[in-house]
Amino acid sequence: GQQVMQIPQYQHVQEGEDFTTYCNSSTTLSNIQWYKQRPGGHPVFLIQLVKSGEVKKQKRLTFQFGEAKKNSSLHITATQTTDVGTYFCAGFEYGNKLVFGAGTILRVKS
Protein backbone atom coordinates (compact mmCIF):
# COMPACT_ATOMS: atom_id res chain seq x y z
CA GLY A 1 0.00 0.00 0.00
CA GLN A 2 0.91 3.63 -0.22
CA GLN A 3 3.48 4.90 2.27
CA VAL A 4 4.50 8.45 3.04
CA MET A 5 7.81 8.85 4.83
CA GLN A 6 8.65 12.11 6.56
CA ILE A 7 11.96 13.24 8.02
CA PRO A 8 13.30 14.34 10.37
CA GLN A 9 11.16 13.14 13.25
CA TYR A 10 12.31 15.98 15.51
CA GLN A 11 14.12 19.26 14.95
CA HIS A 12 15.28 21.72 17.57
CA VAL A 13 16.46 25.03 16.17
CA GLN A 14 17.58 28.34 17.55
CA GLU A 15 15.18 31.17 16.83
CA GLY A 16 16.20 32.76 13.55
CA GLU A 17 17.58 29.55 12.04
CA ASP A 18 15.99 27.88 9.04
CA PHE A 19 14.07 24.61 9.15
CA THR A 20 13.17 22.03 6.51
CA THR A 21 11.06 18.89 6.61
CA TYR A 22 10.95 16.36 3.79
CA CYS A 23 8.31 13.97 2.56
CA ASN A 24 8.68 10.97 0.26
CA SER A 25 5.96 8.77 -1.16
CA SER A 26 6.30 5.23 -2.45
CA THR A 27 3.81 6.04 -5.23
CA THR A 28 2.96 8.98 -7.47
CA LEU A 29 0.59 11.43 -5.81
CA SER A 30 -2.29 13.40 -7.28
CA ASN A 31 -1.68 16.09 -4.69
CA ILE A 32 0.16 16.68 -1.45
CA GLN A 33 -1.14 18.65 1.50
CA TRP A 34 0.67 20.16 4.46
CA TYR A 35 -0.79 20.61 7.93
CA LYS A 36 0.44 22.20 11.14
CA GLN A 37 -0.56 21.03 14.61
CA ARG A 38 0.26 23.31 17.52
CA PRO A 39 0.94 21.62 20.89
CA GLY A 40 -2.41 20.58 22.36
CA GLY A 41 -4.22 21.55 19.18
CA HIS A 42 -5.56 19.89 16.07
CA PRO A 43 -4.05 19.66 12.57
CA VAL A 44 -4.72 22.78 10.52
CA PHE A 45 -4.43 22.81 6.75
CA LEU A 46 -1.62 24.99 5.39
CA ILE A 47 -1.42 24.38 1.66
CA GLN A 48 -2.07 21.96 -1.18
CA LEU A 49 0.30 21.31 -4.09
CA VAL A 50 -1.03 19.71 -7.26
CA LYS A 51 1.32 20.36 -10.17
CA SER A 52 4.64 18.69 -10.85
CA GLY A 53 7.50 20.95 -9.71
CA GLU A 54 5.12 23.39 -8.06
CA VAL A 55 6.51 25.91 -5.56
CA LYS A 56 4.28 27.96 -3.29
CA LYS A 57 5.14 30.51 -0.62
CA GLN A 58 3.33 31.71 2.45
CA LYS A 59 5.37 34.47 4.07
CA ARG A 60 8.40 32.65 5.54
CA LEU A 61 7.16 29.19 4.47
CA THR A 62 8.13 27.69 1.10
CA PHE A 63 6.50 24.50 -0.15
CA GLN A 64 7.78 22.40 -3.05
CA PHE A 65 6.35 19.44 -4.95
CA GLY A 66 8.82 17.25 -6.78
CA GLU A 67 8.91 16.80 -10.55
CA ALA A 68 7.90 13.15 -10.24
CA LYS A 69 5.13 14.08 -7.78
CA LYS A 70 6.57 11.68 -5.22
CA ASN A 71 8.29 14.05 -2.84
CA SER A 72 7.74 17.39 -1.20
CA SER A 73 9.38 19.75 1.25
CA LEU A 74 8.47 22.55 3.59
CA HIS A 75 11.09 25.16 4.37
CA ILE A 76 10.74 27.83 7.04
CA THR A 77 13.10 30.78 6.86
CA ALA A 78 14.20 32.46 10.09
CA THR A 79 12.07 30.45 12.49
CA GLN A 80 10.10 32.17 15.23
CA THR A 81 8.71 30.77 18.47
CA THR A 82 5.25 30.85 16.89
CA ASP A 83 6.41 28.20 14.41
CA VAL A 84 6.58 25.47 17.08
CA GLY A 85 4.39 22.46 16.46
CA THR A 86 4.20 19.31 14.39
CA TYR A 87 4.21 19.61 10.61
CA PHE A 88 2.54 16.84 8.64
CA CYS A 89 2.61 16.14 4.97
CA ALA A 90 -0.26 14.11 3.57
CA GLY A 91 -0.22 12.52 0.15
CA PHE A 92 -3.27 11.71 -1.93
CA GLU A 93 -2.78 8.82 -4.31
CA TYR A 94 -4.98 8.82 -7.42
CA GLY A 95 -8.41 7.52 -6.49
CA ASN A 96 -7.24 6.55 -3.02
CA LYS A 97 -7.17 7.95 0.46
CA LEU A 98 -5.06 10.65 2.06
CA VAL A 99 -2.04 9.17 3.83
CA PHE A 100 -0.29 11.24 6.48
CA GLY A 101 3.42 11.22 7.10
CA ALA A 102 4.62 10.65 10.66
CA GLY A 103 5.14 14.38 11.18
CA THR A 104 8.14 16.50 12.14
CA ILE A 105 8.08 18.04 15.60
CA LEU A 106 9.66 21.49 15.55
CA ARG A 107 10.93 23.15 18.70
CA VAL A 108 12.34 26.67 18.60
CA LYS A 109 14.69 27.95 21.28
CA SER A 110 14.58 31.67 21.93
Q: Closer CB to other proteins, residue 2 or residue 77? A: 2
Among residues 77 and 107, whose Cβ is nearest to other proteins?
107
Cα–Cα distance for residue pair 36/105, rounded to 1 Å: 10
**Minimum gap (Å) between residue 48 Cβ and other proteins:** 6
Smallest distance from other proteins to CB 12, Å: 15
Give exposure, 17-39, as e/b (b: 16+ Cβ within 10 Å). Answer: eebebbbbbeeebebbbbbbeee
For other proteins, the binding residues in 18-57 under the rule CB under 8 A are 30-31, 33, 37, 41-45, 48
